[in-house]
Structure 1
């Protein structure tokens, strides 16, 4: 596996670690608060993240994820559900040749490296959302946010600016911390 491949998989692993610390700090009574994703609450967003992790892991390993993306993946313990999904996800991406596969997503088949970037985006951005909404911004890895913002700015991102994905870019001061600039780039509305 080449260095770029290891770096991308390492980034997914690090993002899972950061998000895991954030999820561990979410209390059950916070799950019903509104999300930064319109029409969602924190519990739905966390469930979306866990479901996505399970589906990516299943796609990478050729197994059945055990449900659809928005089925109930959290059960009665959102922390344990995230931890179990993260373990499966890490193991799936760490498999030899993981980036050489084609991943079937809701909008079609995607080469492994692009699927990894999409997955990294899901983990980092939803992790940031959850941290902002639950008063845990101090746990955000600003390097992860800065790197992802750089990647997104380097691609033709307008194709992803549509309802249900990302909105139009919102103005954020240039000297704002990286995660705030990333949220603004993605069209998230926050204080």
Structure 2
């Protein structure tokens, strides 16, 4: 079977919108007492992961808007309703910025140097799809990601070299894929998560 390349076109904007809606639902459903729960992300509790989701969506949106962004700090964020409002603002900026004509093919300012917009959009999509699962798992909530987004993230992550994927603890070693696993379980295993 031929491996398909990453999604690079304007359909990325719709994938981001749908995935952000799923993430928002998870953020809104976190019970107040679960914000301190540990997550599959080493060293982060649910509140810190919620802050990372807000900071990431903001950062990637600022990159796409050409606002010479600085990397987000992993400072604790407000919890509950405030994190949902912050996420709404961040994702609005993100979707509007990536929806601009031609931005996906432009070289944009990024932490690692000028980077094509479609790469940054795929990183943004990866962050929300994967970290939403981490947050849902930590807080005991259901999570059903958008299937097309899962496919896009898997295609994007597979095109990266193994050394690049596992550098600096970005992803842990790939886990065995359980028999009969679907695409999302395959993605979780590929990114070092136990489905």
- For normalisation by structure 1, the TM-score amounts to 0.84
1:112 and 2:117 correspond: yes
Shift of 1:103: 2.8
CA pair 145-81 structure 1, distance change in 2 beyond 3 A? same
Shift of 1:91: 1.3
1:24 is aligned to 28
1:51 is aligned to 55
Q: Which 10-residue stretch deviates more, 9-18 or 99-108?
A: 99-108
CA distance in 1, matches of 2:79, 2:141: 23
Report the count of equivalent residues: 188
1:37 is aligned to 41
CA pair 86-158 structure 1, distance change in 2 beyond 3 A? same
1:183 and 2:188 correspond: yes
Deviating above 6 A after TM superposition, structure 1's stretches of 4 or more consecutive aligned residues are none
Shift of 1:8: 1.7
Contiguous gaps of at least 5 residues in structure 1:
none
CA pair 175-142 structure 1, distance change in 2 beyond 3 A? farther
CA distance in 2, matches of 1:189, 1:107: 29
Look up the SS of the partner of 2:108 in the other structure: strand
CA contact (8 A) 1:57 1:65 kept: no
| Superposition CA RMSD, Å | 2.5
Contiguous gaps of at least 5 residues in structure 2:
1-6
- For normalisation by structure 2, the TM-score amounts to 0.82
RCO higher in 1 or 2 (8 Å CA, sep ≥ 6)? 2
